[in-house]
Amino acid sequence: MFKKFYPDYDVDSAYKIPYEELYQKGVRGIIYDIDNTLVEHNQDATGEAVCLFRRLKAIGFSITLLSNNKKERVERFNRRLKVSYIYKAGKPSPKSYRRAMEQMHTNPGNTIFVGDQLFTDIWGAKKAGITSYLVKPVAKHEEIQIVLKRKLEKIVLHFYRKKKGK
């Protein structure tokens, strides 16, 4: 029942994924959520994010930001990163994930998705056939609607980790 929400990988941070290895294995596109995946909610791109994106571009990745946020928020975050983006994405609908792959000229077999929420980010990536990486949320304090989702996520993650033997 919960398997449709299970990530392919469960990692501590978007900044600790072995990107060079992924590129060697044929991954060419990365789709990122923004808030609580790369930075705290509503924060501009940090120096750490800028360095990561510079590194990813040098490796050869195509990158797209995929956010349910409004245009102003996503454009402001992207100001220093200068990658493609989709705002008001409607996650978990797979439509925006497919659009992101079209923008990057990639496909589900050579694209990964990195996000912090099971019921939007990961479920949408799974519906689009993309390998998903669940990261721990960057922020310690979140908006109330996210806090409620996190309680449900804990239940799903319990069964996921039990299955994985973690």
Annotated domain spans of the chain = 3-164
Statement: residue 1 has pLDDT above 80: no
Quickly state the pLDDT bin for 166 (edges 50, 70, 90): low
How high is the pLDDT of residue 62? 98
What's the pTM?
A: 0.90
Q: CATH top-level class for 3-164?
A: alpha beta
Q: What is the largest CA-CA distance in the chain?
A: 42
What's the mean per-residue pLDDT of the chain? 93
Question: Which amino acid is residue 82, in one-letter code?
Answer: K
With b for 16 or more beta-carbon neighbours within 10 A and e for fewer, the 32-66 pattern comes to bbbbbbbbebebebeeebeebbeebeeeebbbbbb
**With left for phi above 0 and alpha for psi between -120 and 50, is residue 40 left, alpha or beta?**
beta
Residues with Cβ within 8 Å of 61's Cβ and at least 6 positions away in sequence, in order, are: 19, 23, 27, 28, 29, 30
